Amino acid sequence: MYPGDLLIIGGAEEKCHGAEVLSKFVELAGGSESIIGILPTASEIPDDVSSDYVKTFGKLGVKDLHVLNIKHRREAEDPEVCRIVDSLTAVFISGGDQSRLADIIGNTKLHMKLAERWKEGMVLAGTSAGASIMAKHMIVASDMKQNEDKLKIELGRGFGFMDYVLIDQHFSQRARFDRLLSAIADNNEIIGIGIDENTAILVRNNEFEVYGEHQVLVMDGKSSDYIDISTSKNGSEELTISGFRLHTLTAGYRFDLTGRKLLLKKGVSQNED
């Protein structure tokens, strides 16, 4: 038995014309046969967010939709919620603040149930905060301005469906290069993955493939031979790093997370090194 597909979206995915990324999710979930749970817990306006996705997934042909409207930790411990998850083919985790997801759902029965069902093959998708929560570690700040003075980045615990990666979202659009670099400079075993808006990675067998409109950036510090983190007079973190490897990928290109290298589009022959 293999774990289910993970579709990790950089936020602001197109919901009307085309809806390429969300169509891919519905296809992975089983198309018109899919039974999809919507988890809007990251948002402070979960009802609005849910009804948007209910409409969108309905237009994409999904007939069986369940809103998992978990607002408090005790609701995430409710066996009835877990029974609903047992019936699903896929769960979609909305945007908002990833800390809310961690605080309300982290280490509850619902979290365990999602992990159990994912290991059995259930599809999981997340956008924005729902993207960040997918890995074991995540950047906690929900929207830090990187144009202002650089700040020390804090990491928190995600849901743990991937390890040794750190996902950041709205990546080019919010110019988050510096914050992702700071985050992985502290632990250069971890691969940084910055996903642009209306763009997604589909993770399967420790590889991912890119879908959607823009870029995915991969930052790999494992082969670095020198890292020195210092703090300037005004408290901002300043980095000296040598030889980090950088890749960017557009739709169709793939990345090997074990070999830490770019793979060409399917059907294009690859030069092996």
Residues 177-216 vs a copy of itself: string with x where CB under 8 A? xx--x-------------------------------xxx-
Stretch that binds a copy of itself, among 86-94, 103-111, 129-137, 260-268 (CB under 8 A): 260-268
Closest by CA to 255, choosing from 211, 196, 198, 189, is 211
Q: How far is the CB of 10 from a copy of itself (least distance, A)?
A: 13
Residues 219 and 249: their CA atoms lie apart, in Å, by 12
Site membership for a copy of itself, residue 147 (CB under 8 A):
yes
Please say whether the dihedral angle defined by the alpha carbons of residues 21, 61, 68 and 30, taken in this order, is positive or negative: negative
Site membership for a copy of itself, residue 243 (CB under 8 A):
yes
Site membership for a copy of itself, residue 254 (CB under 8 A):
no
Site membership for a copy of itself, residue 271 (CB under 8 A):
yes
Residues 253 and 201: their CA atoms lie apart, in Å, by 10
Stretch that binds a copy of itself, among 45-53, 76-84, 113-121, 256-264 (CB under 8 A): 256-264
Please say whether the dihedral angle defined by the alpha carbons of residues 16, 71, 130 and 206, taken in this order, is positive or negative: negative
What six digits make up the tokens of 264?
């060409």
User: How many residues at the interface with a copy of itself, by CB under 8 A?
Assistant: 41
| Angle in degrees, CA 143, 69, 76, rounded to 5 | 90
What is the C-alpha radius of gyration for the chain, rounded to an integer number of angstroms? 18
Amino acid at 268: V
As annotated, the active-site residues are 128, 170, 197
Reduced to 3 states (helix: H, G, I; strand: E, B; else coil), residue 104 is helix
Q: Which of 225, 258, 267, 272 binds a copy of itself (CB under 8 A)?
A: 225
Q: Which of 23, 69, 142, 173 binds a copy of itself (CB under 8 A)?
A: 173
Which spans of this chain sit near a copy of itself (rule: CB under 8 A)?
146-147, 150, 172-175, 177-178, 181, 213-215, 219, 225-226, 228, 230, 232-234, 236, 238-250, 253, 261-262, 264, 271, 273
